[in-house]
Structure 1
């Protein structure tokens, strides 16, 4: 398979070079197994034209001009705020044109926020796609014709594959290896590279404090009000009275800004606080549930598992803070 990785000013260098290196490892292991067979991958790092590009962080990278390829892979660009998305995309018209041409004839894949470039190029309309969980809400708002699957690490929609957050280039690489050279080689590369070959979800790692979303004043005010009363029983009427609105008007206004209900937001706030308590304290699960407003541990545990894909105990086991003084 001829893989072209598109590098451009401001793109994330680790995604470009990480994917390239994992596919190189796949070639090496394949050639060790079958010395007379050709390597499964030919990888080229391209730009819209030959020359130098400046990666995010300032490193210069020499790229080739576009040449025939079977798959075009688009990495993410550096994003500091939601406003950065619009300005970055406005400067990438040539890259979007190349993506559109590739989508008409070949396979296309993206890593992390690279799916925003695919969406802005118009090739994800009517399709399912994923992106880094931190950008999923913003992507869904900007591109309503795209069905964003925020928890997924990989989404295949026809000849287009989108992958999740920053290090999902490893997941994408293993999928490409499975598709092109088989599961056995993908498992070998995963073991060599310490990449888990099993399907996983972004939900486990979600931290809504880092999510890129518009900071609407009304939604922010509602969020702050709820967070200050996180242990209290949720009553829509009480919330509406606090903002001098009818329940119907509050729901409509909040949903227009966020696409969600205040109760869904409250549940997210409670799960985020629970995750912090599980990571940083020795409180039992029942105590954690009480600290975030749940008297029934089973109800809390079901909500927690639905949001994170892990039980509270399993989450604590995976993410419990380590005392670095022992190292």
Structure 2
């Protein structure tokens, strides 16, 4: 993914310029090079060709971008053609080279065997795949950046810019990194991918009990939540329903319902056709302040801030 390469390189270039302007002579510039594990041009996602520098075996930080994927699963097939890259990562790790990844670049690091026991982030859309394929890594669900000093992993595509900010902060300090972020119209390093998560995009096991519960709740989105009524609908005790739901999802029906309600509210806010109190009622709440607190907890913004950000 070209963005995951160039966003890092371009941000540290901006940081170089800001350091030269704001603290002349105090910092050496960061040198960013795109390196390859094999000779010849690299085919970026979308078919564009890029000429890279051959890997020379040394750097202060080796950043691994994600690859292009179009479906869930199939990781063995996706990674099988990348043996030279995997061997390069293994050699770098054997020399204690600090490593970083953007997005599903974490899959390459894990496939190379260098993430065992490490806390890592990856794209929220593929967290389930990652956790299933690499249980030896400690997945930090929803994190934008996991910084373990000699290992930095980040979330989905634009987290390359968060990585660029972290690199600039380490090298130049907070003031230069913040100045570069302002020039690039960035709001600083983000904490969570959660505001961007859309459960509708995740793969669904349509036969699971949790999926059927989710469907029942979604059909009654504007109605008050009653656990006993939900359990009766599935001929279970409340304790059994909660236990089975948690075993399948790791969460509770109420937490899932709150997430769905927030996602629906986001869609209605983006459409910009309803008043906030109408939206709150449409997703099953009576009190605007109560729902606004939930919305802020899930997205980092109030409903009004979210609408302004999306609609201007």
Asked if Structure 1 and Structure 2 have the same fold, meaning a TM-score greater than 0.5 normalized by the shorter chain, the answer is: yes
1:91 to 81, 90, 96: 81
Q: Of residues 41, 45, 60 in structure 2, which corresponds to 1:56?
A: 45
Is 1:65–2:51 an aligned residue pair?
Answer: no
Residue segments in structure 2 that go unaligned for 5+ positions in a row: none
CA RMSD of aligned residues (A): 2.8
The corresponding residue for 1:5 is none
Partner of 1:7: none
TM-aligned CA distance change 1:236 to 1:89, over 3 Å = farther
Match runs of 1:156-195 below 5 Å? 156-195=147-186
**Segment of structure 1 superposing worse, 251-260 or 308-317:** 251-260
| SS of the residue 2:73 aligns to | helix
Q: For 1:291, which of 238, 258, 282 is the aligned residue?
A: 282
TM-score by length of 1: 0.82
CA distance in 2, matches of 1:116, 1:221: 31
* 2:102–2:159 Cα contact (<8 Å) kept: yes
Q: Which residue number corresponds to residue 110 of structure 2?
A: 119
3-state SS of the aligned residue for 1:161?
A: strand
Match of 1:146 among 123, 137, 147: 137
Distance 2:247 2:189 in 1: 38
Structure 1: unaligned runs, 5 residues or longer: 1-11, 323-327
Task: Indicate how the Cα distance of structure 1 residues 309 and 28 shifts in structure 2: closer, same or farther if over 3 A, else same.
Answer: closer
- Aligned residues of 1:49 and 1:64 also touching (Cα < 8 A): no
Stretch moving more, 270-279 or 188-197? 188-197
1:72, distance to aligned residue in structure 2 (A): 0.6
Question: Per the alignment, do residues 275 and 167 of structure 1 end up closer, same or farther by CA in structure 2, a change over 3 Å counting?
Answer: same
- Kindly indicate whether residue 86 of structure 2 is the aligned counterpart of residue 101 of structure 1: no
Residue in 2 that maps onto 1:136: 127
How many residues are matched?
309
In the alignment, what sits opposite 1:22?
Answer: 11
**How far off is 1:55 after superposition?**
1.3
Question: Would you say the 8 A contact 1:304–1:311 is kept in 2?
Answer: yes
Query: In structure 2, what is the Cα distance between the partners aligned to 1:300 and 1:122?
Result: 44
SS of residue in 1 equivalent to 2:32: strand
Moved more, 268-277 or 310-319: 310-319
Instruction: Tell me the distance in 2 between the aligned counterparts of 1:151 and 1:63.
Output: 32
Residue matched to 1:3: none
- 1:304 aligns with 295
Q: What TM-score, normalized by structure 2, do the two folds share? A: 0.85
Q: In 1, are the aligned partners of 2:270 and 2:310 still within 8 Å (CA)?
A: yes
SS in 2 for 1:103: helix
